[in-house]
Every structure is written in structure tokens, then in C-alpha cells.
Amino acid sequence: MTRLVRPGGSPPTPRSVDVARLAGVSQKTVSRVLNDEPYVSADLRRRVLDAAEELGYRRNQAARALASGRTRSIGVVTLGSALYGPASWLMGIERAVRKMGYTLRVATTIEGDPGGIASALASLLDQGVDGVVISEPIDEGVGIISVDVPVLVLGAPPTFTAPQVVTARVGAGRLARAATEHLLELGHATVHHLAGPQRWYSARDRLAGWREALRAHGADEPPVVEGDWSAASGYAAGRELAGDGTVTAVFAANDDMAIGLIRAQLEAGRRMPEDISVVGFDDIPVAAYVTPPLTTLRQPFDAVARQGLALLVQVIEKPGVELPPAADPPVELVVRASTAPPPPRPIPEQGRRATPHPHGGPHGQPAGSEVPSTRP
């Protein structure tokens, strides 16, 4: 079938029997060697490998899958957009999948397509994947989906019925809490939240983390504004909030919305961060270079993907074994110039700490000067 062609035409692709013949062993021995099974002498192993090398032999995966009932592939259901978060997850998953010796199949969904996850899943199951990863899941309201292979859900509740459902916690809640606390500790009386669409579990997590932090600090909980992840929705929210003079700090559920919000504030004549502080979420590539450079949170995409896939593969290969709870990766808050203490003027009833902006003006802290501070 499909393999690298050797120079000088295309002789018929070799089979394992050909390798066996050349090595002077049985076909089964070839299979043993190639699968790293025990009970093969070093000598035969060498001869088989040499013969395989010489012929340019590669195993036929279709035949392997048919005979063994396993495809050694993992499917991922992901949103079909180039949004930074979903795309980063996908890349992290690919690396992790490959590291575990599996290959990756992808099926995308479209935002707003009801049943999209179910049909993407069906497509992957048709292809015979050994396990499935649901990245950035959305609550479609379609109830429980049944799948007969193990499922890894990145940061969401188990709405799947499967041999095993494992979850890798993204820690979005902890990150959101850290962001909110950062602002509270700067002296803001409270922090507004520009949330992501609440059909997304990750958006819910962030909102929950924000709420927890406010409660823990005894701060008022202002009404939540909900966006759709886009900078446009952040801009709209920014115009809305610009009318409210009491707003001094906003935690946006992603950087795009934060940037839209900042733009609206600047147009409304607000100074950033002297009048309003903003924290984003994701640390998109341009976050350090917008004006003002954005304080934001980094998600540990690769670490979580690796962790989750290790679990998934373990469940696939050794069903029934008890799983150790995965350790949460550290929270990374990247402090840049978009956050500062609140303005001294509108001290309503809480005026502790009023030192003016230690972070420099809106043009402070450009390239490379971000301070990745890890908070527990």
C-alpha cells in the first residue's frame, strides 16, 4: 500500500513473509520481533531487523488492526476554528498522542451545530479509534452520549457513558481565581468579569474561579457580562462597562475579549491601567505587544494533554487498573502593564492601598519584560 518508494521503480511492497524468507525464519518470528514480544533470541532479532531494513519493510496497519482489533489510533473532537485555546489544545494532544505511540485522527465540530459532538464522535468511532479525546467541550444539551471506547475529557464533567471516562483538569478555575486575586491584591474593591459563552465548560470554570475569589475576599459580586470569545464581543462589553464609573478592574475570560474591551475603554477616554485594570486569559502571541501589554494567564496545554493522554492510554491498554489522581500543574500568571492599583479618586468605602501604578505608563514593559510569576 502506502510506503516510501525505493529508488529505481516500484517493486511490489514487501510483506512480512518476504522478510521472514530473507531472514530465514518463520513469519511469526518476524511478527514477534516487530512487536517486541519476548522469547526471541538476539541473533534472530538481529537477522529479522536487518532483513526488514534491507527490504524497506513496513507493517500493514490495516492488517494489524483487523487481526488485533486495535488501531493504535486516538481520535480527537475539537472545535474547527483557529482560536488560540482550541488550537493549542489540539497541538498539545497531537504531541502527547505521538509520544504514547499512537496516531491521531481529527474530527472537528462547528460552534452552534447541535449534535456536532455526537456526529464527530460517530465519525471517529467508525474509523475504529481505540480512544477518544474531547477537547474544549461544549454543553450541547443533548444529554448523555454513549461510546464504547475510553474517553478523555479535557476539563469537563462526565456526560459520557463509556468503558472509562477520564478527565484531565485544566485548572481554569484556579487560574481564574489567581487572576481575580491579583486584582484584589492590587487594591481593587471588586473585579468585574467578562465571561465566555457559558455553554463552554471552560467558560464556566473561569466564572466559578472568579466567583470563588471574590467570595473568599468578601468582595461584592458585580453582574457578569457574557461574550462569545471574540474581540468584537469584548469591545461591545467594553462600551457597556465604560458607562459605569465604578468599574476599576476586569477579568476577561480570554485575551481576545480583553483586547476588544481595552479598545473600547481607550476610545471612551479611559487611561489604561491608571483608570481600569484588565487581566486576560491565554497569553496569545501578541499579548505582550498590544497597548498596554496585557496581564494574562497561561494554560499548561502541553502538560495537561500529556497527563490526560497518559491516563487514557493506560485505560486503553490496562483496563481496570486504578488511576492515580494527576497533580495539578502550576498556575502561571503573567503580569504585564494592563494591571495597576485602582485610581485614588472614586474611593467608595474601601481605600486601603492607593499607591499609583508601579507598572509604568501604558507604554511600559514591552518585549520580553513580562514577569512570569507562579502563584500557588
Q: Which of 8, 41, 318, 324 binds DNA (CB under 7 A)?
A: 41
Minimum CB distance to its own copies, residue 326 (Å): 23
Pick out residues in 67-86 that bind its own copies (CB under 8 A). Answer: 69, 71, 73, 80-84
Q: Does position 149 bind its own copies by CB under 8 A?
A: yes
Q: Nearer Cβ to DNA, position 46 or 363?
A: 46
Q: Which of 39, 321, 368, 376 binds DNA (CB under 7 A)?
A: 39
- CA-CA distance, 14 to 24, in Å (whole number)? 15
Q: Nearer Cβ to its own copies, position 204 or 263?
A: 263
| 151 contacts: CB under 8 Å, gap ≥ 6 | 131, 132, 133, 134, 160, 162, 164, 165, 166, 312
| 105 contacts: CB under 8 Å, gap ≥ 6 | 73, 74, 75, 76, 124, 127, 129
Burial 10-44 (b: 16+ CB within 10 A, else e): eeebbbbebbbbbbebeeebbbbbbeeeeebeeeb
- Residue 157, preceding bond cis, omega within 30 degrees? no
% helix, strand, coil for the chain, step of 5 = 35, 15, 50
Q: Does position 285 bind its own copies by CB under 8 A?
A: yes
Pick out residues in 210-229 that bind its own copies (CB under 8 A). Answer: none
Q: Which of 11, 56, 91, 353 binds its own copies (CB under 8 A)?
A: 91
Q: Does position 256 bind its own copies by CB under 8 A?
A: yes
Minimum CB distance to its own copies, residue 294 (Å): 10
Query: What is the distance between the terminal CA atoms of the chain, rounded to a whole angstrom?
Result: 53
- CA-CA distance, 316 to 305, in Å (whole number)? 16
Residue 168: name the closest of 178, 177, 158, 159 by CA.
158
Minimum CB distance to its own copies, residue 219 (Å): 28
Q: Does position 368 bind its own copies by CB under 8 A?
A: yes
Pick out residues in 45-84 that bind DNA (CB under 7 A). Answer: 57, 59-60, 63-64, 66-70
222: left (phi over 0), alpha (psi -120 to 50) or beta: beta
Q: Which of 34, 129, 156, 225 binds its own copies (CB under 8 A)?
A: 129
Minimum CB distance to DNA, residue 60 (Å): 4
Q: Does position 17 bind its own copies by CB under 8 A?
A: no
Minimum CB distance to DNA, residue 325 (Å): 31
What backbone phi and psi angles, to 5 degrees, belong to 122? -60, -40
Q: Nearer Cβ to DNA, position 27 or 198?
A: 27
Q: Which does 3 bind (CB under 5 to 8 A by kind): its own copies, DNA, none?
A: its own copies
- Residues contacting its own copies: total by CB under 8 A: 75
Residue ranges that bind DNA, judged by CB under 7 A: 1, 13, 15-17, 25-29, 31-32, 34-35, 38-41, 43-44, 57, 59-60, 63-64, 66-70
